[in-house]
Structure 1
Amino acid sequence: MKRNYAFPVIIAGSLALAACGSDTAEEILPEKEVEAAETKSTETGNSGEKATAGTGGETSVKSRASDGTGQNEMRKKMESLDYTEFELEVEYTNDEEYEAQLELKSDGSVVAGYEDDMNGVKKEGIKAFNDLYPLVGQLELTPSSNQEEEIGKVLSAFSLPDDYTDFSLELRFSDGTKHEFEVEQ
């Protein structure tokens, strides 16, 4: 009788071990495939996303940063800017608009996101930060800047058309000074 139970137990144990197996190849492969797919979609513009050209030499914040969200890396990069808040809204005649936000909050967290109706792109978090940071970083805006020149710099940096109907830019500088540009045409 013991012999009748031994065979099924051995088979069941073998199946359990085979099912467990070495999971390293199974876990790594999909992760690499996902990363490759994200990279490919960003490069080719698939999935409604379009890569935004940044300045050369800028490094991206990795989504698998030590804190799991990339907040530490984003905060360090934001602290190197002259601005703690950058909020841009540009509207066009055909009900299309471009909105972007990059903000270092008082609790040290970073909020990043943008929506580009003209290109059908909407990103938030690290992906948005990696697109916006190089663009905002190249701007040299000051509270005493000429409004027309500054608007031109922003439109150029973000590769936006200059036939806007409404333009709004809110900046908060590292010293707490707030500066706003608003133009309706």
Structure 2
Amino acid sequence: MGKFFKISGFLFFAALLLGACGNLGKNADEPNRDEATLIHEDEKEGGSLDTGDGYGFDKFDLEIDVDGKDTVEANYEMERDLEAEYKNKLAGLDLKEDEAMVKLDEMFIDIMFTKDTSQEQAIEKLMTWFGLDTYTKFDLEVHFDDGTKLDFEDKK
């Protein structure tokens, strides 16, 4: 019975000691201290719209030609660093990096591609978004965070 009290007492003492040592930092009592950042599994590789940290894909490459001439090019790639480019010759735009991301963000949010988007849906959504009626070449490649890829190419 004495052994039981000794072990119980030791475990109780250890629990109190560990509990008391949990927050001994210099700024432990300050209300504005930095909180730990929790990373959701989906946010590690580019994120998704569900987690609020991305678009659900880490590569988007679009080229639309009208009358055989480059008309729209939109590129977004998120590996280690963000690479973005947006060219719309109809609107006279040739944007890179942050400026391009403003336009690309508008497009990505409005169009909302998923891995189940069909070629017809993709073409319809993008042609409508850019205000185009026809094209001679449509080339779209999207790499989703889960490894799925959309690769559509159509020529008229």
Question: Does TM, normalized by the shorter one, top 0.5?
Answer: yes
Structure 1, unmatched stretches of 5+, are 1-74
| Structure 2 residue 124 is the aligned partner of structure 1 residue 152 | yes
More helix by share: 1
More strand by share: 2
| Structure 2 residue 135 is the aligned partner of structure 1 residue 161 | no
SS of equivalent residue, structure 2 residue 64: strand
Structure 1 residues 165, 112: closer, same or farther in 2, change over 3 A?
same
- Distance in 1, Cα, partners of 2:131 & 2:73: 11
Quick one: percent identity of the two aligned structures? 27
| Amino acid corresponding to residue 110 of structure 1 in structure 2 | L
More divergent stretch after superposition (143-152 vs 161-170): 143-152
Aligned alpha-carbon RMSD (Å): 2.2
Maintained 8 Å contact 2:63/2:70: no
Paired residue total: 108
Structure 1 residues 184, 94: closer, same or farther in 2, change over 3 A?
closer
Runs of 4 or more consecutive aligned structure 1 residues displaced over 3 Å after TM superposition: 75-79
Could you tell me which residue of structure 1 aligns to residue 90 of structure 2?
118
- Distance in 1, Cα, partners of 2:114 & 2:98: 26
Under a length normalisation based on structure 1, what TM-score does the superposition of the two structures give? 0.53
- Distance in 1, Cα, partners of 2:66 & 2:124: 16
| Amino acid corresponding to residue 144 of structure 1 in structure 2 | D
Structure 1 residues 96, 81: closer, same or farther in 2, change over 3 A?
closer
Shift of the alpha carbon at 1:96?
Answer: 4.0
Could you tell me which residue of structure 2 aligns to residue 9 of structure 1?
none
| Structure 2 residue 52 is the aligned partner of structure 1 residue 81 | no
Under a length normalisation based on structure 2, what TM-score does the superposition of the two structures give? 0.62
Structure 2, unmatched stretches of 5+, are 1-45
Could you tell me which residue of structure 2 aligns to residue 135 of structure 1?
107
- Distance in 2, Cα, partners of 1:83 & 1:153: 17
- Distance in 2, Cα, partners of 1:92 & 1:114: 16
| Amino acid corresponding to residue 117 of structure 2 in structure 1 | S
